[in-house]
Every structure is written in C-alpha cells, then in structure tokens.
C-alpha cells in the first residue's frame, strides 16, 4: 500500500511522539482535526497505527513500505530461481543418475542437440527405470523422460505465486525457467519447492514475523 505525503508525515509524528491525540497531530500539521480524520482512519485500518481511547495514536511497528500481500505479489521467478542442471537426450540413464547425485538436484532437464528443452527426468522416473531395467548404461534418457509438449514451464518475469500454483496443479516438484527462441525453449533456470520455501521465509523475515 502506497502512503501519500500527509499520511507519511502523520506516521513520522506518531513514531516519534506517540501516543499522541488526533488533535495534537492536526496542530503539528497546522490542519483541522477533520481534515486529517480520513488519513488517520486509513493508517489505522491498514494497521500502521493503533488507536486507544483516551490515550491516542501510537505506532504499530508495521513497515509502511509494503504489506505482506504486496510483497508476495512482487516476488518474481527470476529473483528466486536456481541454476538448471541439464543433460543431453542421448545420455544414458546410468549417467543421468550419477549427474543427479553429483549436482544434488531432484530433477534434470533434458535438452536436444540444439540445446532446447525436450524433456524432464525426476527422481522417480530414474528409480522406476532402475527397478525394471538392467542395462542402464545402454538406455538413453529420451526413452524414459517426460517429453515436450507435456512440459510445464515458467518465465523469469512470472510471479512466484503463479509458478507455485502450476507445481501444485500438476503435482510436480520443479519447473524449468525458459526463454522462447525461434528454435525452441532455452532453459535458463529452475524453480523448485525449495525456492518457494525460501521465498516464503524471506517474506516472513522481511516483515519480522
């Protein structure tokens, strides 16, 4: 929520000298009490000020810059994404498993020979194949991956809420962050449930919750 100049001034006065009555605030601003009544109502309703009968207004401690909901809407994929781990579609399932351990990720993105997104490999995709197949060194990942056009993805400028909703709706743990190119989708990042948890926590810390 954006405060206007007068509301900001009122907040400063209360912060310094609260508890203070509406009458005294008006005096300090050289305005009539009735003139500042709507501003006081807005500041109180928005939670920036608390009012006690016969005591006056005092500062609630809430930061005036942004409400939690504005902060949440402002969180963009690009601010929280991680580095993507990609493998080529001809890599063996065995090598993909090694890569997953080495890079310590839960999902690998698969790219074709022009480096465009062609599939996704999850932990369970690899586990399922390992149970049912013996020659993992000879089996290329393109045989077992979830492939385009069935890949759910997002873009840097999308809100984190939008990305979280996609993950929940599709029951998946991560999304590739892509840039659309004429040859296909270039993978530039990765959003996981861990990123969403980190964002949730940063919001709480920012608002001193």
Residues at the interface with ligand ADP (CB under 6 A): 107, 120, 122-125, 146, 150-152, 171-175
Q: Per the omega criterion (within 30 degrees of 0), is the bond before 190 cis?
A: no
Q: Shortest distance, CB of residue 193 to ligand ADP, whole angstroms?
A: 9
Tokens of 71: 């902060």
Q: Shortest distance, CB of residue 104 to ligand ADP, whole angstroms?
A: 14
Nearest to ligand ADP of 123, 142 (CB atom): 123
In this structure, are strands 146-147 and 117-122 parallel, antiparallel, or unpaired? antiparallel
Nearest to ligand ADP of 14, 163 (CB atom): 163
In this structure, are strands 174-181 and 49-52 parallel, antiparallel, or unpaired? unpaired
d(CA 101, CA 83): 15
Q: Shortest distance, CB of residue 182 to ligand ADP, whole angstroms?
A: 22
Nearest to ligand ADP of 7, 107 (CB atom): 107
Nearest to ligand ADP of 43, 141 (CB atom): 141
Distance in Å from the first CA to the final CA of the chain? 18
Residue 10 half-sphere exposure, CB side, CA atoms within 13 Å?
Answer: 31
- Whether residue 15 contacts residue 43, with contact meaning beta carbons closer than 8 Å, is answered with no
Q: Shortest distance, CB of residue 77 to ligand ADP, whole angstroms?
A: 13
Of the candidates 11, 106, 128, the one whose C-alpha atom is nearest the C-alpha of residue 61 is 11
Q: Shortest distance, CB of residue 181 to ligand ADP, whole angstroms?
A: 18
Nearest to ligand ADP of 150, 182 (CB atom): 150
């Amino acid at each position: 929520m954006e405060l206007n100049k007068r509301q900001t001034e009122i907040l400063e006065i209360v912060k310094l000298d609260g508890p203070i009555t509406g009458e005294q605030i008006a005096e300090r601003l050289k305005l009539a009490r009735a003139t500042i009544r709507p501003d006081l109502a807005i500041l109180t309703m928005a939670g920036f000020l608390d009012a006690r009968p016969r005591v006056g207004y005092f500062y609630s401690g809430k930061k005036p810059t942004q409400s939690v909901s504005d902060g949440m809407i402002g969180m963009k994929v690009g601010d929280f994404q991680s580095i993507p781990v990609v493998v080529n579609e001809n890599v063996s399932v065995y090598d993909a498993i090694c890569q997953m351990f080495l890079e310590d990720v839960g999902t690998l993105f698969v790219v074709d020979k022009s480096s465009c997104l062609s599939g996704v490999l999850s932990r369970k995709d690899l586990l399922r194949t390992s149970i049912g197949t013996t020659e993992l060194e000879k089996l290329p990942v393109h045989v077992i991956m979830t492939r385009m056009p069935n890949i759910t993805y997002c873009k840097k400028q999308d809100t984190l809420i939008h990305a979280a909703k996609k993950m929940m709706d599709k029951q998946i743990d991560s999304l590739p962050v892509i840039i659309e190119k004429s040859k296909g989708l270039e993978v530039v990042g990765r959003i996981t449930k861990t990123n969403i948890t980190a964002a949730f926590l940063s919001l709480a810390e920012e608002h001193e919750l």
